[in-house]
Structure 1
Amino acid sequence: MIFVRQSQVSLRASWLSVVFLVVRGKFKAFNMNTACIAVGVLLCTGVAVAKDNLRVAYEWREMDFQYDSPDQRWSAIERGAFNPANVIPFGLEVYRQRLFVTLPRWRNGVPASLAYLDLNDTSTKMPALRPFPSWVSHSLSDADPELVSPFRVKADRCGRLWVLDSRIAGVLEQTKLYGPAQLLIYDLHNDDLLRRHILPMSQTKQNSFFANLAIEDADCDNTYAYAADLGSPGLVVYSWRDQESWRVQHHFFHPDPLAGNFSINDIEFQWDDGLYGLALSKPESDGFSTLYFHPLSSTMEFSVKTSVLRNKTLATSGAIYRDFKILGNRGVDAQAGAQFLDAETGVLFYTLPNLNSLGCWQTSKGYNVQDRIYSNNSSFVFPSDVKVDDERRLWVLVNQMQNFIYDELYPGSINFRIYMANVKDALEHTACEATKTLPDLVGKLGEVLRTNIKLKTATDEGSKSAAAALTMSVGALLLTLFSLL
């Protein structure tokens, strides 16, 4: 779907003219064909128009950190501990008045791989980040460092921050493995480390690379974490109550060899990444959620009930194949990255890095009913993460990752942005809008057209009163459609 930016005022004015002519009876031959054409154009035009409801909340040329003093910062740069050109934001999370950002150690010179900014500080759109939970936690000089290279974090409703740490540094230089991937769970009330779960060797493979995370937190004492392994496709399930994890295998976790081509702003490359995007629905009537997922190198979306995944015996057996569902295909070049399901609206938001877009799907509708929230080939290049916070705000992190990996970032330009919008505003005038009634209106149009046929059959000359009624019905329909634009 291609969005055409044009004035809402001029669009409404043009269709108001159509409604006026219909009501005045100027369309004397307003039959099924003309009605279909008129409303069809209106529907197409309405879908094509997208409002710029996302705004830039923060932006950076290069990422920076809050050191205790300017001398300490300069010393870190001189020692090579901090190289701004090698720091890229990747994942985000918002909890109360803190916005967390992950900064994986893909190259040397990343002093802290998890940091945050204070949302109460509105003095600048380019804030320096504070390390979380402390500078000491990011030291790699220890034999067993606390934090190495986390990709995703997720705050649960119980006030805990779940951190998925790949523990792999230097993947774009000299790769160094500090141990198996780990889950770190912090208490956000005091930033203390509550628990550390290192994945057993049996649950990691030679090419394992854990890059995404979803948390099922309806019960704080019986919370489950789901970690996606894109390198050796699989899903690791962790039980907070039982303090154990297990690995789930399925063919749907694997990349599609026909969907590995990426072309982003004239940079072309191939990826063969497996399971990546994860999103959980709110608990259903049986107390379990639905996990929506997809590989990165794929245009397909899938789902599975968490009742299957949380049953260790069942999940690790070969009897679960048919419990996984195919939802549909997003279309050409629509490989999706991170995704998040907003429990209140039932809308699944997902990034489309190959299209520099943010997409949406209303999960109560068929998978073919999708839309795009935002697209921009200059300022929205490679959306990397998306979240909705407790205050109904939608957040999107954009990082130009294709340039960071295959070319270079220019410090004189804005390279990283975080967009924000109210969820309701972001969904306005899209197929995902909760109050969208176009399907009902199309049904109403059908009734009007069927009435037209009956009127023609009843009389050869036509009844003036019936024609007037028909004109008013169609006029009312167009006015209703007009109000949605």
Structure 2
Amino acid sequence: MRPAALIIPLLLLAIGASTTVQGIDRLRVAYQWKQLDFDWPPDNKDDVRRAFPSYNPADNLPLGLEVGGDRLFVTVPRWRQGVAASLNYIRLNDTRESPPLIPYPSWEAHKYRDDGQPPEIVSPFRMRADRCDRLWVLDTGLSDILGSPEQQSAPSLLVYDLRQDRLLRRYAIPEEQRTPDSLFANLVVEDHSKDCADAHAYLADLGGPGLVVYSWRRDSSWLIKHHYFHPDPMAGEFNVGGVVFHWSDGILGMALQPHDDGYSTLYFHPLTSTAEFSVGTRLLRDPKRADTSEGFHEFRLLGSRGPNGQSSVSFLDPASGVLVYALTNLNAIACWRAGSRYTLQRQGRVYMDNVTMVFPNDIKIDRRGTIYVLSDRLPAFMYNRLDPEDYNYRILTGNLAEAVNGTVCEPPRTTNKDNGALDTRINRLPSSRRNSATAITSCGHSTILLLGAAMALAALTLVDW
């Protein structure tokens, strides 16, 4: 199908969708910051600040989040030299709009030593908390990422005891399982067994690209390679809030759907791609079989999210089977019900906003069904500049069941198959154009259909906004 033939019906559906879809955009902003600040200890505040002489608030941008107990953890990778602590938390009962970040597990864990050795934690991107009260932190080991990158320590998996806030284990990823281009930017943890020692972590290397599987019991890892981990050269252009850039990033988004046999289905996608894939973890846990022709063909292509469907992160709620994912170009969060066909008609819109959801960069859902989303305007931070007088970083939250109500991601008995499909709004008009779209909608759906040919040129421009 030619691109124009696909885009025009998407535009028509987008214009008419606003009067028929209910129960969307039910997330709220819980926290927001113009610039990040830290909880400097009052008794020795000056001493701690002296330990971070390069600290610059403008250099600190949050990227990953996770919920553990009554704490909301936030990573701040060392993008530039002015980052203070790269792993932090805030209390979930903190009602302040812009609470300062509390370094985890302590300030000491983020200090560079007098002999120049790196701190305990260098520069993590994302993390996962498991049911055994462990926090798995994937540390890239990179500093000054956007300046003069330096690999200060090997990419490592750090696992903390959340009950005692102490480091349980550090595992450095072996050299033979990474490349000079490696960037370990995301992980998922499989902890469904009753025995906490049976846990496995799956570490996404978007630069390799590859997938490193780590076994807690064996305290060892192995590398899985597949061409589905690679970027799609046709999906390399991004446009986020008018910032146009080109990325060629491999596997990043991952979500686990647990099964009764102790294994899971891993849903995954490269960042530079519009496709979704899956593979069983029974295969991934068996490196010998995964490296065979038979194992190679157990990887599955599920389908495509369509134009502008590049996605960074995803998370699957095991209680409902709903997979929630970020749409980086569209400033949106969408959903899909695992087990259904992976088509545009089966993708639901959860939240979309050109102010509060600019570049959603992490998603988590806790055991109570609460969803958390972090948006951070990363492209503007990297290629332009952020306004220090504007709110740049946000954490949004809401109830997952309410968030997907009225979409195709609802449980089957209550789903209206024509309600909330993502293909009716995957190229929805930006906020600056919504008033005109609403006016057209008021003319009736028959008028919209007659306007199809006249809107074709406009449709061609919408895929790039």
Specify the alignment match of 2:341 in structure 1: 366
- Give per-residue Cα distances to partners, 1:373-428, cap 9 Å, x unaligned: 01111221000000001221100000000110000111100000000001111111
* Corresponding position: 1:188 with 2:188: no
- Give per-residue Cα distances to partners, 1:169-224, cap 9 Å, x unaligned: 11110111013210000000011111110011101111000000000001211100
Instruction: Report matched runs for 1:103-142 at 5 Å.
Output: 103-122=76-95, 124-141=96-113, 142=116
Instruction: Report matched runs for 1:293-442 at 5 Å.
Output: 293-368=268-343, 369-434=346-411, 435-439=413-417
* Corresponding position: 1:159 with 2:133: yes
Secondary structure in structure 1 of the residue aligned to 2:297: helix
* Corresponding position: 1:201 with 2:175: yes
Cα 1:237–1:75 shift into 2, 3 Å? closer
Q: Residue 413 of structure 1 aligns to which amino acid in structure 2?
A: D
Superposed displacement of residue 50, structure 1: 5.0
Specify the alignment match of 1:257 in structure 2: 233
Moved more, 158-167 or 78-87: 78-87
- Give per-residue Cα distances to partners, 1:245-276, cap 9 Å, x unaligned: 00000000000000000011111000000010
On the 8 A contact 1:4/1:49 being kept in 2, the answer is no
Cα 1:217–1:46 shift into 2, 3 Å? farther
On the 8 A contact 1:180/1:204 being kept in 2, the answer is no
- The CA distance in 1 between the partners of 2:70 and 2:171, in whole Å, is 27
- The CA distance in 1 between the partners of 2:203 and 2:307, in whole Å, is 27
Cα 1:49–1:2 shift into 2, 3 Å? farther
- The CA distance in 2 between the partners of 1:74 and 1:233, in whole Å, is 42
- Give per-residue Cα distances to partners, 1:344-369, cap 9 Å, x unaligned: 11010001111100010011321111
Superposed displacement of residue 315, structure 1: 2.6
Greater fraction of residues in helix: 1
Specify the alignment match of 2:430 in structure 1: none
Secondary structure in structure 1 of the residue aligned to 2:245: strand
Instruction: Report matched runs for 1:22-33 at 5 Å.
Output: none
Q: Residue 110 of structure 1 aligns to which amino acid in structure 2?
A: V
Secondary structure in structure 2 of the residue aligned to 1:313: helix
Superposed displacement of residue 285, structure 1: 3.8
- The CA distance in 2 between the partners of 1:329 and 1:301, in whole Å, is 6
Q: Residue 400 of structure 2 aligns to which amino acid in structure 1?
A: V
* Corresponding position: 1:279 with 2:279: no
Secondary structure in structure 1 of the residue aligned to 2:30: strand
On the 8 A contact 2:182/2:205 being kept in 1, the answer is yes
Cα 1:46–1:157 shift into 2, 3 Å? farther
On the 8 A contact 1:4/1:48 being kept in 2, the answer is no
- The CA distance in 1 between the partners of 2:67 and 2:52, in whole Å, is 32
Specify the alignment match of 2:70 in structure 1: 97
- RMSD of the TM alignment (CA)? 2.3
Specify the alignment match of 1:445 in structure 2: none
- The CA distance in 2 between the partners of 1:132 and 1:316, in whole Å, is 39
On the 8 A contact 1:77/1:83 being kept in 2, the answer is no
* Corresponding position: 1:179 with 2:153: yes
Moved more, 427-436 or 184-193: 427-436
* Corresponding position: 1:63 with 2:28: no
Q: Residue 100 of structure 2 aligns to which amino acid in structure 1?
A: A
* Corresponding position: 1:229 with 2:205: yes
Secondary structure in structure 2 of the residue aligned to 1:81: coil
- The CA distance in 2 between the partners of 1:46 and 1:343, in whole Å, is 32
Q: Residue 112 of structure 2 aligns to which amino acid in structure 1?
A: L
Percent identical among aligned pairs is 45
Superposed displacement of residue 125, structure 1: 1.4
- The CA distance in 1 between the partners of 2:25 and 2:253, in whole Å, is 25
Specify the alignment match of 1:239 in structure 2: 215
Cα 1:258–1:47 shift into 2, 3 Å? farther
Superposed displacement of residue 286, structure 1: 3.1
On the 8 A contact 2:25/2:352 being kept in 1, the answer is no
Which structure ranks higher in relative contact order (CA pairs < 8 Å, sequence separation ≥ 6)? 2
Specify the alignment match of 2:432 in structure 1: none
Cα 1:3–1:246 shift into 2, 3 Å? farther
Cα 1:139–1:318 shift into 2, 3 Å? farther
On the 8 A contact 2:123/2:139 being kept in 1, the answer is yes
On the 8 A contact 2:55/2:82 being kept in 1, the answer is yes
On the 8 A contact 1:5/1:50 being kept in 2, the answer is no
Specify the alignment match of 2:425 in structure 1: none
Cα 1:56–1:347 shift into 2, 3 Å? same
Cα 1:417–1:184 shift into 2, 3 Å? same
Q: Residue 363 of structure 2 aligns to which amino acid in structure 1?
A: V
Specify the alignment match of 2:436 in structure 1: none
Specify the alignment match of 2:5 in structure 1: none
Secondary structure in structure 2 of the residue aligned to 1:402: helix
Secondary structure in structure 2 of the residue aligned to 1:323: coil
- The CA distance in 2 between the partners of 1:144 and 1:105, in whole Å, is 12
Moved more, 188-197 or 76-85: 76-85
Cα 1:3–1:96 shift into 2, 3 Å? farther
